[in-house]
A and B are shown apart, each in its own frame.
Chain A
C-alpha cells in the first residue's frame, strides 16, 4: 500500500508547515484558502501548537511579527484581498529583518473580486507588497506536492535570509486533490542570535524594530538588505525547463497556467511544432538566465497568465526584448484552456501572435 496521502493543496501546505516545525499559525478565513486554517485548527491543539483565528488579517500579520521576533517558525495564510490587508505588516517584517512564511492562495480581483482562481497578485508579491524598498522570496507551486515542498523550502529560505517567504498559489492549487509524499528530512533550526528570547542577564538586549531615528543609519540598513538581495538573486533562482532543447517557440507560465501550458505543448509537439516551456518556480528572485538563453534561439515567447499580463514584464526584461513576448490569458477567475494556449502556439508557428 502506498505511503502517500491524498490531500488538497491547502491541507498540504498546512501539514508541511507543521512538519517544518511551525507551531504558530495566525489567520482569518477567506475562500479559497480556508482549509489551511481549518486544518491548522484541527492539528495544532493536538501537537501543542497555537492556532489562533485573529479578529482580522491585520491582527494576524502583527501576531506573526510578534512570534517571528522570538525566532520561532510562524505562518499566516490568506487570499488576495486579505493579503492586501496584511501589506503594512509585511513591510514591518521586512524592515525588522524577520523571517516568516505567508501563503497567498490567489482569487480574482481587483477589489473583493471573486472566489475563483487568479494570478493577478504577481505585481503585489514580487514588486509592491507595501511601502518601502523591500522584497519577499516568492515561490510558485504547480502541484499539490510542490505546495508542500515549497512550504518547507520557504521556511528554510526565510530563516536563512531573515525575510518573509511567500508561497504564491491560486484557488485551483489550493482546492485540487493529489497524492502527496510528506517524507522530509528537517535539519536542526538555524541559530537566531538576534531573537528576543530573554537576556538571562548574560547578553545585551536584542531589539526588533523597523523604526530608525537617523536617516543615514536607515540608509545603511537598506544598502545592507539589498546586498543580501543581490546574493539571493545570484544563488536562489529556481525554474523548470520542459522540452526547451530544440524549441523554436517558448511558452512561459507558473502555477496552474504552467500545467495548462504543458498539456498544450504536448498537443503541439504531436503536430510537429517545436515548442517548450520555461516555468519559474521562484518569482522573486526571477530566474533570468533561461530567458536570456531562449531569446537567442526562439522566435516568440508566449506568456500564459491568469492576469492581464504581469509576469510578462519580467519576461520581456529577462529576454532583453530580443524576441516578441506575447500574452495568452484569462482573468476574473477564469482559466485558459489547453486549446486556447495551443491556438497561440500555432499562431506563433505560422508567423506570430499580434
Chain B
C-alpha cells in the first residue's frame, strides 16, 4: 500500500467490520518498510476471532504480537495485555493496534489514548462496511463513529473502506460501496486512506480505485 504509516495505526469501527483482519494485513505491509513492527490486540469484546489466531505467521515474519495472555482460552473475562504500555513508550517501533468493536471495545483504548495523543504520531482509522446490517448507510455509521470517539477519548483521522460480503464479494459490490465511503468522508472531512479487497479482486479493481489494499483472509473457518 502506498499509504505512509504513522508510528501508531489504530483500527476501530463497528463490531465485525473487519478490523482484526486488516490489522494483521497492515502489520505485514508495515514490515516490508520497517524493521521493528508490533501488532497489539486490544479487543476485550470478541472471545472467538483474535489476532492471536495468526500468531505463527506473525512470529515467522518477525512481527511482535502483544495480546492478552488469556486470548483463545476459556478465560472469558476482558483482560488487557500487561506489556501494552511498551507500544506507547518505546518510540523506536511501528505499531498497529486492533481495538475491539463499537464503543464497548474502544473503552479499553481510553486507558492509553492520552499518551498516543500527546506523542501525536498516529492515525486512528475508522473501518467501515456497508454490508453490515447496523452500518448500512452513512447516518448509522456516523452514530457508531461518535460512540467510539467518546469511549476511546481520541478522534478519528481517516477511513478504511472494507465493504465486503466475505467470499461472495464481487467487484461490483466494492465499486458500489465507494459512494457510501465518500459520503462519510464528505460529512466528516476525513480522507478514505484505503479501500480493502480480497486478493482475488485486486487486479480487476487496481486501476479503478485509489489506495486499493489487498487483504489475505486471516482466519478461515470451515
Q: Which residues of A contact B (CB under 8 A)?
A: 1-2, 4-8, 11, 15, 31-32, 35, 38-39, 42, 108, 113-116, 171-172, 175-179, 256, 259-260, 263, 333, 335, 338
Whether the pair A6, B129 counts as a contact (CB closer than 8 A) is yes
| B59 adjacent to chain A (CB < 8 Å) | no
Question: Are A178 and B166 touching (Cβ within 8 A)?
Answer: yes
Does B176 count as interface, using CB distance less than 8 angstroms? yes
- Contact of A7 (CB < 8 Å), options: B46, B133, B164, B168: B133
B206 to chain A, nearest CB (A): 20
> Which A residues are CB-close (under 8 A) to B222?
172, 256, 259-260, 263, 335, 338
Q: Kindly state whether residue B172 has any CB partner on chain A within 8 Å.
A: yes
B156-178 near A? 1/0 per residue, CB < 8 Å: 00000000111010101100110
Question: Please, which residue of chain A has its CB at the minimum distance from the CB of B170?
Answer: A2
For A1, the chain B residues whose CB sits under 8 A away are 172-173, 176-177
Q: Which of B47, B170, B222 has the most CB of A within 10 A?
A: B222
Please, how many angstroms separate the alpha-carbon atoms of A172 and B48 in the complex?
8
List chain A residues, Cβ under 8 A from B49. Answer: 175
Chain B residue nearest in CB terms to A4: B165
- Shortest CB–CB separation between residue A228 and chain B, in angstroms? 36
**A-chain residues with CB within 8 Å of residue B166 when the two chains form the complex:** 6, 177-179
> Which has the most chain B C-beta neighbours within 10 Å: A4, A39, A177?
A177
In the complex, residue of chain A having the shortest beta-carbon distance to the beta carbon of B46: A175
Chain B residues positioned under 8 Å from A116 (CB to CB): 74
Query: Which B residues are in CB contact (< 8 Å) with A260?
Result: 222
Residue in B closest to A171 when the chains form the complex, CB atoms: B48
| Known A-B contacts A31-B47, A263-B222, A335-B222; A2 and B76 likewise in contact (beta carbons under 8 Å) | no
Contacts of A6 in B (CB 8 A): 16, 129, 131-132, 164-166
| Shortest Cβ distance from residue B122 to the other chain A in the assembled complex, whole angstroms | 28
CB-based contact B76/A31 at 8 Å:
yes
Binding site of B, secondary structure by majority: helix, strand, loop or mixed? loop
Bound state CA distance, A5 and B166, in angstroms?
A: 10
* B187 contacts A by Cβ under 8 Å: no
Nearest CB of chain A from residue B197's CB, rounded to whole Å: 14
Shortest C-beta distance, A106 to chain B (Å), equals 14
With beta carbons under 8 angstroms apart, the residue of B46, B74, B176, B221 that contacts A172 is B221
B25 CB to nearest A CB, Å: 17
**Partner among A5, A114, A176, A256 whose Cβ is within 8 Å of the Cβ of B74:** A114
How far in angstroms is the closest Cβ of chain A from B139?
13
Chain A residues with CB under 8 A of B74: 108, 113-116, 333
Q: Closest residue of chain A to B129, judged by CB?
A: A6
Pairs across A and B, CB under 8 Å, 17 listed: A1-B177, A2-B131, A2-B173, A5-B136, A5-B165, A6-B129, A7-B133, A15-B133, A35-B15, A38-B15, A42-B134, A171-B48, A172-B221, A175-B49, A179-B131, A333-B74, A338-B222
A41 to chain B, nearest CB (A): 11
Instruction: Give chain B nearest CB distance to A331 CB in angstroms.
Output: 13
Q: Inside 8 A of A263's CB, which chain B residues have their CB?
A: 222
In B19-40, the 8 Å CB interface with A consists of none
Contacts of B136 in A (CB 8 A): 5
Q: Which residues of A contact B129 (CB under 8 A)?
A: 6
Q: How far is the CA of A6 from the CA of B129 in the complex (A)?
A: 9
Tell me whether A176 and B170 are in contact (CB under 8 A): no
Q: CA–CA, A260 to B222, complex, Å?
A: 6
Minimum CB–CB distance from B53 to chain A (whole Å) comes to 12
Residues of B within 8 A of A175 (CB): 46, 48-49
Given contact pairs A32-B48, A115-B76, A5 touches B168 in the complex (Cβ within 8 A): no
- Contact indicator A2/B133 (Cβ below 8 Å): no
B160 CB to nearest A CB, Å: 16
Chain B contacts for A8, CB-based, 8 A: 16
Chain A residues closer than 8 Å to B168, beta-carbon distance: 2, 4, 179
Residues 38-66 of B, flagged 1 when their CB comes within 8 A of A and 0 if not, give: 00000000111100000000000000000
Residues of B contacting A113 in the complex (Cβ-Cβ under 8 angstroms): 74
Please name all residues of chain B whose beta carbon is closer than 8 Å to the beta carbon of A177 when the two chains form the complex.
16, 166
Question: Chain A nearest CB: distance from B63 CB in Å?
Answer: 25
